[in-house]
Structure 1
């Protein structure tokens, strides 16, 4: 009867694994497998605003269009769908601090620690937009969306520097939050509602969610010729019309 010591058995198993791995080096197997097993993101559907009311939506679209102004080649933040992206995010888990610890006590932390209060982004946006509307009407005689581009830029500059004091709201913190969310909407996959028709990806030459780049790994300093691809697999999808 053949007897194998433990070390010999382990050595033989390792050798077999190495041979098998080499033989199927080009194959990635994960069993059991089924379509959509990775829980892909749900595409934003066309339709009305889910979180913003009409006045809030107009303000955010106007803000997005001044943060990312349109030019002859690329739409601005509004037409790129940035406000739609923010609206859908605020209506979802992001808006209500999904997955975060939100129980008291709430202790004000340092700026590096991020938000430490019980208000999630949805509540913060609602308060900030109301305070911004009040500030604009007091300072300029109208809602933010109705102001001239010069006045809009002046208001935004005041928020950025902290010179614009909103009632009960940290205007500078709101500016930073809004700027980050608008940038996310502009460059995220169109499946989330922004980057309409992949306009931002086309502008920077980003190829998007393509499956395989092996043919281009060693081709440096060459412009990739193929158009970008979204998770949705379509270039003509538009998630929202106002």
Structure 2
């Protein structure tokens, strides 16, 4: 998973990448929560394809989606490149991810676009979440965007556009 999220949010001069922010650990930990098991979702059929405006319509919990899609991805990558995804160079990984995003790479039971969307969503969540959830290590993403975090009061700064908030971010308890 780390080679995936590294390509979605790479480290650069603006701030840390997904690896430095702990996104892989965030995603792994989320898969062992009620969210990962789909415990809070309606997970009974019928499962019928529909427009994206209807939201998630698959029979897989996030955990099952990852397991199935990652296995299918590895199988396809090994067939095409005789290497695992993690062993591919960055350019080839980007190409494979692009094929998933556009739905051009079949990975088994999980539609490639839905898998890409799930990984991208979870990567964003892990990058910008409150650190208590296991991502955004050291509040690195919050510092990068100058987000105050869980401060009780910063209303005086809300409409001061272009000014940098002077205090460091604060995580929730």
**1:21-55 C-alpha deviation (Å, 9 max, x unpaired):** xxxxxxxxxxxxxxxxxxxxxxxxxxxxxxxxxxx
Are the counterparts in 1 of residues 26 and 133 from structure 2 also a CA contact under 8 Å? Answer: yes
TM-fit CA distance, 1:183: 0.6
TM-fit CA distance, 1:75: 2.2
1:230 alignment counterpart: 171
**Of residues 80, 87, 99 in structure 1, which corresponds to 2:28?**
87
TM-fit CA distance, 1:109: 2.9
Q: Identify unmatched segments of 5+ residues in structure 1.
A: 1-59, 233-242
Return the structure number with greater helix share. Answer: 2
Q: How does 1:133-144 map to 2 (within 5 A)?
A: 133-144=74-85
**Structure-2 separation of matches of 1:185 and 1:115:** 20
Are the counterparts in 2 of residues 208 and 230 from structure 1 also a CA contact under 8 Å? Answer: yes
TM-fit CA distance, 1:217: 5.1
Q: Secondary structure at the match of 2:37?
A: coil
Q: Identify unmatched segments of 5+ residues in structure 2.
A: none
Q: How does 1:45-124 map to 2 (within 5 A)?
A: 60-72=1-13, 74-124=15-65
**Structure-2 separation of matches of 1:146 and 1:136:** 10
Q: How does 1:1-242 map to 2 (within 5 A)?
A: 60-72=1-13, 74-216=15-157, 219-232=160-173
Are the counterparts in 2 of residues 85 and 192 from structure 1 also a CA contact under 8 Å? Answer: yes
Q: Secondary structure at the match of 2:34?
A: coil
**How many matched pairs?**
173
| Greater Rg by CA | 1
**Structure-2 separation of matches of 1:173 and 1:138:** 22
- Normalization by structure 1: what TM-score? 0.67
- Normalization by structure 2: what TM-score? 0.91
TM-fit CA distance, 1:73: 5.1
Are the counterparts in 2 of residues 109 and 115 from structure 1 also a CA contact under 8 Å? Answer: no
> Structure 1 163/102 Cα, relative in aligned 2: closer, same or farther at 3 Å?
closer
Are the counterparts in 2 of residues 207 and 226 from structure 1 also a CA contact under 8 Å? Answer: yes
